[in-house]
Structures are given as C-alpha cells and as structure tokens.
A and B are shown apart, each in its own frame.
Chain A
C-alpha cells in the first residue's frame, strides 16, 4: 500500500519540532495534498529517496517552507491561469467580422496594481525564505554532535569519524537523535578529486563537496532505518553509481557498530593464502586493512568490509558471487570505475574472496 505508507510519513511531519510552528501549521494543512497525489506514482515507498517525507530537522524546515511557497505559487497559478482560460473562451473570434475590437493602449492604475501586488508577494516570500536559510545554515552546533568527515572520490564515498578513529566507505552509520537525547550529526564535506554533492533527501538538502573548499551540513534523523541517496553533482562516468546508504541506528546499535569498527581486522589463519595474494598483489596500493601491510588510501577501507551490505558504492550487493565478479572485472557493475581488473585466475580470486569474507 504505497499511498498509505507515504501518507503516514507525511502525517509524521506534522509533529512540531520547534520554531516556525505558525508556518508549519499553514503548511501542514497542505501537506496532505502531495501526500495524496505523489505516492500514486511511487512504487517503492520504503526505498524512494523522496523529498516529501522529511525525517530530520533541516529536511522538515525545508519541507514546511516548500509547502508555504507551494501555497502562494499555487494561488498565483490558479488565478492567472483562470484568467487565461476565461480570456480564451470569452474573447475567441466567432465567425468573420469587419469590425476591429476597441483598441485599448494601457491603463496606469491597472498596471500599477499588478506591479505592487507581486512586489508584496516577493517581500513575504523573501522574508520567510531568509528565516529558514539562517535557521538551517547557521544553527549552533551542540556539544553532543557527532562529527563525520565525508570525502568524495570518483566514484565512492569515504566516511571518517575523527573522534572515534573509524574509517569506512559508502555506508554511513549515525545515531538517531531524539528530543530526550539530541545527537545531531555534522558532516564536514571534502573532495579528493572533482566536485560531488551529498544528497540524502529525507535527511537534508544537498551540499557540494568541492576540492579545496570544505563545506558543512548537519542532520538529526528522528527515526531509525535505512535512508538512500546519491551523488548529485555530475562527477564523471560512474556518477550514477555513486550511491549513499545512511543507517540511522538506535544508540545501542550505534555503540555496537562503533565498537566493531574500532577493532583491527580479523586475522584468520584459514584464509592466509587469500591474504597473502591480497598483500602481494597491487590491492594494497589502494586499499587499507588495518593491522596489515595494506595501507592504501585511494580506494575504500576494507577492514570491516563484511559489515557493509553493498560493494562498489551501492552498485551491487555484498555477496561472495558479486565480490568475485567485481574483483575479476569491476566493469561488470561499474564500467569506468577506477579499480582495474587484476588479471587473476579464478582460484586466486576465490582465495581473495574467502579472505575478504572474514573481514567482519
């Protein structure tokens, strides 16, 4: 029942989250409109990265503002389009006539009126917008905030948790932020190569990752779950497969995840052969497996590869078969990905996959 599911999302947005409550009140009346209209098209509400079901304060603020703007622009649309339709019906020529209609050259009063009214509308829209810009962009950062550094690469995401000593890729884990226990996440956005843009619509609008121009954005997701997004600034051939998965965890889940990520890589003697191939081939030039000779930083950190659900920045599920296919030829999932095919034989790849499968 996609439509019901989305309606539920929208109803949740009606809960006031502080600030702008009057605006939100107006907005909430109209939130039902897109809630009813749009899900009709959406077949996969649970995995649609919609902008219409915000779950974090910045996304809420934007959504509330957007409904207010929709209300005003909608009113303008229906009045002007109504006039146009009236004019078309009322004044269309019926039959031939020798006479020209009365020539009217203009009217100062009327023209003044339709200049002043738009000016007033602009003033209202501008003030409302400015308020939200400052509220979102200049929100004070609380002490309890979690810091994550996001580094965009062609064509994957690197996530670093500087205070926790964690490095991971493509799947971001952050704690849920509740009224009782606010724990917003602040992302510091950097790029290793070209421009990228971090966009998970349900959590916030997008912010670009630009080399030599650090940016910041924040989110305080109010519901646990998995939220999808992807790179929103064309960054090269595999821009389309630079997907983002954000896991919003309960405090317990998040603590457990952090503890696991902080452990060094599992060292399992049963897969020593795979590890040996991994460490003697070029793999180590790009990948890190903490506690081993692999210290490359060009590609994703693989220390806890198996704690991730996907590989290749979300292009494929993290299964043994997919790992095999990926190592054999990354172009299978991502033609143009920067990881080269290593020209290993099937047996070697099987051994590497066996090794990787132990990296929990």
Chain B
C-alpha cells in the first residue's frame, strides 16, 4: 500500500554513541525528559524497591516460621508488614506499571514522546521523592531524636489507630506525606498518558486500532485520576486530625473511623485494578505474539476493560463486610463485586481462545503469561468466595485474604511484570535476557509461589488472622507456616537469579536486533534501543497489527478486522 510506510530497519544515521564522562552520563539521566529514559528510571526504581520489600517479606516469614518466635520484636514486625504493603503497592506496583506505560505507549502509537515531557519528568521525581520520604521515616520517625521508626499502622492505616493518642511520633506523618507526594506524581503521569493517547496517535491509528496495551493504560490512567483523589483527601484529613485539631476520624468528638474506611477503600479497591489492568495489558501483547495469532475478540476485550473500570468503582465496601453495615448494604456490595467477575471471565476466555489453534512458543515471557492465566483464574475464584459476604465474615482479615490478594498481586501482576521484562528488555537494551536463567527463574518462582500462597489459603481457613507477629503453638498452624516460609525463600532465590540475569545479560547477552520475537506492534519497527526520536518517519497504520501487514503483504489484517 502506498501509505504503508514503516521504516523497519532504517533509522536516521545516528551519531556514534561515544563514551561520555561518568558525571555527564548521570546528569543526562537526571535532567532527561525522554519518555524512554523516564520509563527505565521508573522500572529500575521499582525493581530496587521490589528487592527492599521482598527482603521485608522474608523477615516477616522468618518471624512466622515457628510459633512464639523472637526473631523481631512486635514493634518491628508491625513496621515490616506496614512497609512491605505500602512499598509494594506505591513504590513497586504503580511505578513499574507507569514505567512500562511511559516506555511503550508512545512507541506503540507511533509518537515521538509523551504529550508533556516535562510534566513526565516532574511526575517521576515526585514519585521518587515520595519513596525516599517514606523510607526516611526510619531515621526521622521520632523527629530525629532517639531511635527512628517506620510507619507501623498497616498499609490500610485504619483510624483511630493513626490518631496522635495511639500513634505518637512522626512515622504516620511520613506515611501520609509520602503518599500525598507520590500521589501527585501519579496523577501527573495519568494525565500525561491520557493526553498522549488522545492526541499523539500516528496517522491511521484510530482508537479501535490501538494495541490493547495502550487501551488498558488509558483506562488505568482514568481510574487513577478518579481513585488517587480520595486517598489524597483522606491523608490531608488525617494530617488535619493529627495537627490542627480536626475530628474527621475521632470518635470521641463525633467523628467516624468508618469514614476513613470508606475513603481508603474507594481508593483501595480500584487501586487493585490500577495494578492488575496493566498486567492484563502485558498479557494482551505477549499471548498473541507467542501463540502466533491475533488477539481473540478485540472489541470485547476493550469493552470488558472499560466495564471493569466502571464496576470497580462500585465495589469498595466489600472490604467492610464486617464493620456492621446493614443487610441491604452488604447485599448491594455482594452483587457489585460478583459482577466484576463477568468482564474478567470474558478476558480469561479470550486469552484461552487466542491460544486455541495457535502455535505456542514457550519462551520465558510466554511461560510467565501462561502461569498468569492459571493463577489469575484461581485468584478470581477466591475473589468470588470473598465476595460472598457471610463467608467473608469468616475469611476477612484471615490468611485466606492474604493468600487471595497475593495471588492477584504476585500470581498475576508480578508474573506478568516478569513476562514484560523478558519481552521488552531486548527492545530497551538491545540484548536478549538469558533464556536458561529465565527458565530457572520461572520454574523456581512458580514452585516457590505455589508453596507459599496455596498453603496460606488453608491456614486462613483454620482461623489464622493477619497482622499477628506470632501465634500460639497449639492452634494447628505450625507446619503450614513453616511450609509458607520455605516457599518464600524459594521465591527469593528466583528473584535473585532474575536480578543477576538483568545485570549479566546487559553485558553478555545475545544481540537482539529490532524484532527478536517476530512481533506486530510498532515498537518492534524501531532499532533496539530506539533512538531519542523513536521514528525517523512518522508511521502510518491501517490495522491493529501494522507489522503483520508489512510481513504479510498478501494477507494483511485490515482486510479481516472488525
């Protein structure tokens, strides 16, 4: 076709990358407004905190491996699980997914950068500063005299435990401020992604021709805009309560601790979807490429994603089935929660149908995505169990819930983050990650994951509540907890292998070329790594898989897409 211009391997002659002084190189990363560099900064930042929060998890699991352990004190244990949760959600999950969005959205829609490059840099540094602020609490929690301490009120920070009467010192303030600051960064990125997808798509890329990855990142950004706001509002109210004599959450002065719960969960539940939709986004790219088939039911996938976005805003109080809502209130949230299962089910079926009839290559990215489908299925089903309010009266705040949301956050999201890194690392660095190390990483992580989180369901059914620093030896939880902890170590070894793979392959990895996976979206038409301007000539597309059209000129997609 005449308007089919895709410069697959014809970049502009680039100035040969010369060795720049170390300081200059660092400087270029600090002042950069390039979406790719910022994306990588996000991802590296998130991987660093993944290791930190992972180490916290390991300390938690050592403490719980045997009953009546004295490995850490109760105070330190509370800090560990608070920091583990806060870090994983706000400093790992959100940044890494926005990192992928930053790196990939402009490339996938044929743009040269994000819509607001400076806002982009500002957002990243705000988020980064938020993370530093949170961890600075370890030295500053008691105001720089005596010993410091980290926040210890749980990542959900229920009032009135956060009141000054029950939590003196400054650790809760660091927690609130850190989340306000990183929240503003997140809002900036969300606005940027929305503006980019709406205004910078290349010629021919209608909304219904966008890669599903971009669709999902757009939806995530909208959801972020809606949900970060109540969180920020709640943090400000908390600080007013703590310092300006406010009584928003102070029951003794007519305030209501339940108001905090509503604010927190109307953020907190959609937040789960903010994290999991990007995981779907990754699966939507990886599964078709490795199955060698177009995604099955693209319009249904878009509709299901938009549906999840809306329904997820109506389900928050399923975290509050035990706070004494009326029976009618409980019933409403049972229904809305179960309804999320419908679009989610559609997605799982569509991924299966994409694999059906394909020729599936089980390279490392696909291994992780396949495990994701399996684990997300289970996570969805335990989610249905928890949506059944009476059963939730038993399961709420037990290890069953911990198992369920780690199935989502690790089994679905972290697995797909690994898939994404194996899949796009060659694009970002020009080198392939080692497949041998990748397979070791996958199988060890899979085994460790199931040892830990499958077992957690059972210990929850046997009545073990969350947030306890130790447990009585006669409760029948001993063996199960030991098994859970051992699985944690297996996962830790796998993650260390992965970190080694990242470093090793950066130096020794096989050269990747432009398109190592024989893929179909626009980012694979650029050199690896892509030049600062991304595309020498603005691409023009006629279908959802522009590179498929180019590789199969006699059988292009645009003839068949609906």
- A interface residue numbers (CB < 8 A to B): 2, 34, 38, 41-45, 47-52, 59, 61-62, 65-66, 69-70, 73, 76-77, 80-81, 83-84, 87-88, 91-93, 97, 100-107, 110-111, 114-115, 118-119, 122, 125-126, 129-130, 132-134, 136-138, 154, 189, 193-195, 197, 199, 201, 204-208, 210-213, 215-216, 228-240, 243, 314, 335-336
A312 to chain B, nearest CB (A): 12
Known: A62-B391, A239-B468. A50 touches B463 (CB 8 A): yes
Closest to B351 in A: A84
**Contact partners of A197 in chain B: CB under 8 A:** 322, 397
Known: A91-B357, A111-B297, A212-B256. A204 touches B393 (CB 8 A): yes
Whether the Cβ atoms of B462 and A41 lie closer than 8 Å is yes
Interface 0/1 of B387-407, CB less than 8 Å to A: 111111111111000000000
A32 to chain B, nearest CB (A): 15
Partner of A81, one of B374, B394, B398: B374
**Contact partners of B463 in chain A: CB under 8 A:** 48-51, 199, 201, 229
B349 to chain A, nearest CB (A): 4
Q: Does B478 contact A (CB under 8 A)?
A: yes
Whether the Cβ atoms of A210 and B323 lie closer than 8 Å is yes
Q: Does B33 contact A (CB under 8 A)?
A: no
**Contact partners of B458 in chain A: CB under 8 A:** 38, 41
Whether the Cβ atoms of A38 and B462 lie closer than 8 Å is yes
Complex-state Cα separation, A104 to B334, whole angstroms: 36
Q: A34-B461, A66-B391 are in contact. List 13 more A-B contacts (CB 8 A).
A: A48-B462, A73-B384, A77-B381, A84-B374, A101-B357, A105-B298, A111-B350, A114-B346, A199-B397, A205-B393, A213-B258, A232-B322, A237-B75
**Contact partners of A132 in chain B: CB under 8 A:** 390
**Contact partners of A45 in chain B: CB under 8 A:** 476
Complex-state Cα separation, A81 to B298, whole angstroms: 22
Closest to A110 in B: B353
Complex-state Cα separation, A212 to B323, whole angstroms: 12
Whether the Cβ atoms of A50 and B293 lie closer than 8 Å is no
Complex-state Cα separation, A122 to B380, whole angstroms: 13
- B interface residue numbers (CB < 8 A to A): 73-75, 78, 152-154, 158-161, 166, 251-252, 254-258, 291-294, 296-300, 322-324, 326-327, 330-331, 334-335, 338-339, 341-342, 345-346, 348-350, 352-353, 355-362, 370, 373-374, 377-378, 381-382, 384-385, 387-398, 458-459, 461-463, 465-472, 474-480, 552, 557, 560-562
B85 to chain A, nearest CB (A): 11
Closest to A44 in B: B476
Whether the Cβ atoms of A47 and B258 lie closer than 8 Å is no
B158 to chain A, nearest CB (A): 5
Whether the Cβ atoms of A106 and B300 lie closer than 8 Å is yes
Q: What's the count of A-B pairs with C-beta under 8 Å?
A: 298
Known: A42-B462, A52-B461. A133 touches B160 (CB 8 A): no
Known: A114-B345, A243-B472. A125 touches B327 (CB 8 A): no
Closest to B323 in A: A208
Closest to A201 in B: B463
Complex-state Cα separation, A42 to B461, whole angstroms: 11
**Contact partners of B334 in chain A: CB under 8 A:** 126, 129-130, 133
A34 to chain B, nearest CB (A): 8
Closest to A48 in B: B476
Complex-state Cα separation, A307 to B388, whole angstroms: 40
Complex-state Cα separation, A226 to B374, whole angstroms: 41
Complex-state Cα separation, A352 to B351, whole angstroms: 70
Closest to A65 in B: B390
Complex-state Cα separation, A326 to B480, whole angstroms: 31
Known: A70-B385, A87-B355. A234 touches B467 (CB 8 A): yes
Whether the Cβ atoms of A236 and B342 lie closer than 8 Å is no
**Contact partners of A233 in chain B: CB under 8 A:** 158, 322, 397
Complex-state Cα separation, A87 to B398, whole angstroms: 35
Whether the Cβ atoms of B323 and A133 lie closer than 8 Å is no
Closest to B74 in A: A237
**Contact partners of A102 in chain B: CB under 8 A:** 293, 357
**Contact partners of B324 in chain A: CB under 8 A:** 189, 207-208, 210, 213, 215-216
Whether the Cβ atoms of A100 and B292 lie closer than 8 Å is yes
**Contact partners of A237 in chain B: CB under 8 A:** 74-75, 78, 152
Whether the Cβ atoms of A47 and B474 lie closer than 8 Å is yes
Closest to B334 in A: A129
Give 16 pairs: A residue, B residue, CB < 8 Å, sorted on A. Answer: A73-B384, A100-B552, A101-B291, A101-B293, A111-B350, A114-B349, A118-B346, A136-B390, A195-B257, A204-B393, A210-B257, A212-B255, A231-B465, A233-B397, A234-B466, A240-B74
**Contact partners of A88 in chain B: CB under 8 A:** 355, 360, 370
List the 10 closest A-B pairs by CB distance, nearest first. A205-B393, A49-B463, A48-B476, A212-B251, A211-B251, A240-B468, A42-B476, A215-B324, A234-B467, A106-B297
**Contact partners of B154 in chain A: CB under 8 A:** 234
**Contact partners of A115 in chain B: CB under 8 A:** 342, 346
Closest to B327 in A: A137
Whether the Cβ atoms of A92 and B360 lie closer than 8 Å is yes
B475 to chain A, nearest CB (A): 6
Whether the Cβ atoms of A137 and B330 lie closer than 8 Å is yes
Interface core residue of B254, B323, B324, B465 (most chain A CB under 10 Å): B465
Partner of B390, one of A44, A47, A61: A61
A229 to chain B, nearest CB (A): 7
